[in-house]
Structure 1
């Protein structure tokens, strides 16, 4: 395919088909950055880069999924397994609020022994004790797990969680939306179709969600494009995704530690391609947690317009040996020094300041 045809379509704001999107991998990285930046400013004309002050709280690390890429989970009956008490949960939220936090990202493993009432009670506890906190919780694999374990439809699970206090759903557990990849990486977790189905139902019930992609392991370039197109197609139907968040797989301490870690250049390339292909998802988040702050600054010139979360607490990536940390002041400094205007936001990207 002629590169100039694809470039012309991108610059004219025309949508790329699968073949054209795949050909983006052949374009030099500096040109991809230019194209992605053009799309970024078409969707977000101001030089504003947003971020959120929140905390990732893993309410349990016990999980029966056994994903090859996860270094954090513990099997049932492990001496290192835990379930947070509501008192422990409350202390973490109190600290988050004291640091200016607006929301918590609440996720756990697929715990085989907790009743559904535990999750409802946990949400009610958070909402009655901290009514000002936005609960961004339970990724699609957790929702699918609840549905199968408790004999409830996806709609019933979501309706009950919403009633108990759930405000939005994170896009975790997407990895690559290819069942070939998923059968190898996480055979006990939600399929690609199940992940998309949870998101579609959540959007129809009025929940906003994010979407993610973890790449740099066994996927092909074509599977990356298929992932992006599945997100784009669902967004056309529902308009429920507020942002897309791609990051690279971190192999250390996982069952795939023999794989070579994807480098920053490949991260920037895939980030730019994501920005170009996802013409209907307004916000693209850079991953300073996996790439570090300086690559994240460069990523703002490759289509990114959101610096993600302060992540007062983050356990899963840290378990894979990556432990970048930044305060709100540091995030604002890195955004400013990259030539952009930092603004705090809510999950739905409305600005707080």
Structure 2
């Protein structure tokens, strides 16, 4: 106990001075049982970067296919081509989903799916084009680095060429999925067949060089341990030092139901909050940390706004991947409900678009203003 107090005292001094935490500091945070002190430190950093703002957006998810050549142990979403539950969405379905999203005022469509060996890159470009035909203003955040690497493989072109074709189709940014856990001790066991850590990082490096922003994730609470999680964060921090292209980090809580890892219990609420807080402390160069309510639940996401998170994602309609894995959260939360949760947490709710510009609504229409001025941005712009 005395050692824990002493270690946290040194870490607090570094955090208050704005100094970067080391790998060993991260392990000390993982080992500590003082969740309230860790949360308080994360909140200090959170308020230094984003004040009392709590961000959300109005969005819709599209998962174009669940057919996937890979068999990751943690995935309950995938299907083989000949399974009854296998599906592919084509033009009419995508257009209808985009129309519904546009009519309800969504500013973003988030697209991720399986790696279908019978579909060509043209199909994935067309999905974006079909959406843009319905609503040219809606932002398309599409395809994980794992998907982009797979598209490059089946098309026999570089990932840069794939990204350029997707950008030409209307791609606005990349989601952060597929990162799972970077450390080979874990990655090779749970998803060894798909894109390597180096390939995942290189896709995002290339995307940033082409002017795209992206997110990053980490799947925790399965066979991972403290070393694996801190290693993951440090690798992301190093790439962010290099490119500056990441906007948000999203710790994703493992959902075991219906997967090959169904014998592993879900991470506890304490682990959820501790991982959120450590993420905020270690990823000092990430502007935002998101508490993805679909996986955490609305109540835990609300508490996470005091444990380092400044964003709880959006209204989220038609999400399949985590609900297949046993997520018991609703498919959709209303704007009024999200705003109430943020306000109850003592934060100021701000609707943002994918690029963190404030959304203004008038007469059923929306427009994006300038990039939201958080305390950290105000300092940079002064």
Short-chain TM bin: over 0.9
2:231 matched to which residue of 1? 226
Q: Which deviates more from structure 2 when the two are superposed, residues 176-185 or residues 271-280?
A: 176-185
Q: In the alignment, which residue of structure 2 is the partner of 1:337?
A: 344
| Aligned residues of 1:76 and 1:112 also touching (Cα < 8 A) | no
Structure 1 position 350 matched with structure 2 position 348: no
> SS at 1:351's partner residue?
strand
The answer to whether the Cα contact below 8 Å between 1:286 and 1:296 also exists between their aligned partners in 2 is yes
1:257 aligns with 2:227: no
* Partner Cα distance (1:339, 1:345) in 2: 18
Per-residue deviation at 1:79? 2.5
- Contact between 1:61 and 1:72, CA under 8 Å: does it hold in 2? yes
> Within 5 Å, which residues of 2 pair with 1:101-140?
101-140=106-145
Alignment partners' CA distance in 2, 1:143 and 1:306: 26
For the residues of structure 2 that align with 1:54 and 1:126, how far apart are their CA atoms? 13
Task: Say yes or no: does 1:322 pair with 2:363.
Answer: no
What is the Cα deviation at residue 36 of structure 1? 0.2
- Secondary structure of the 1:352 match is strand
Q: Which residue of 1 aligns with 2:285?
A: 280
State how far apart, in whole Å, the 1-side matches of 2:300 and 2:121 are. 41
In structure 1, how many angstroms separate the alpha carbons of the residues matched to 2:53 and 2:47?
10
CA drift of 1:121 comes to 2.1
Q: 1:76 aligns with which of 61, 78, 81?
A: 81
* CA RMSD across the alignment: 1.1
Partner Cα distance (1:348, 1:177) in 2 = 26
Decide whether the 8 Å contact of 1:272 with 1:303 is kept in 2: yes
Do structure 1's residue 213 and structure 2's residue 218 form an aligned pair? yes
Q: Is the 8 A contact 2:120 2:154 kept in 1?
A: no
1:11 Cα shift?
A: 1.5
- The alpha-carbon deviation at position 338 of structure 1 amounts to 1.5
* In 2: Cα distance, 1:116 partner to 1:247 partner: 28
* 1:122 Cα deviation from its structure 2 partner: 2.1
Could you tell me how far apart the structure 2 residues matched to 1:115 and 1:333 are? 44
Q: Is 1:41 aligned to 2:47, yes or no?
A: yes
1:237-265 per-residue CA deviation (whole Å, 9 max, x = no partner) reads 11100100002100111100000111000
Task: Report the Cα distance in structure 1 between the residues aligned to 2:125 and 2:299, rounded to whole angstroms.
Answer: 40
Give how far 1:323 is off. Answer: 2.9
Aligned pairs (5 A) from 1:53-64: 53-64=58-69
| CA distance, structure 1, for counterparts of residue 297 and residue 130 of structure 2 | 35
TM-score (norm 1): 0.97
Which 5+ residue runs of structure 1 have no aligned equivalent? none
Are the structure 2 counterparts of residues 183 and 147 from structure 1 closer, same or farther at C-alpha, using a change threshold of 3 Å?
same
Equivalent residues of 1:317, 1:323 under 8 A apart? no
Q: Secondary structure at the match of 1:255?
A: coil
Please list the CA deviations of residues 183-211 of structure 1 after superposition, one character each: whole Å capped at 9, or x if unmatched. 11112211111100000000000000001
Between the two proteins, the alignment pairs up a number of residues equal to 352
Aligned twin of 2:363: none
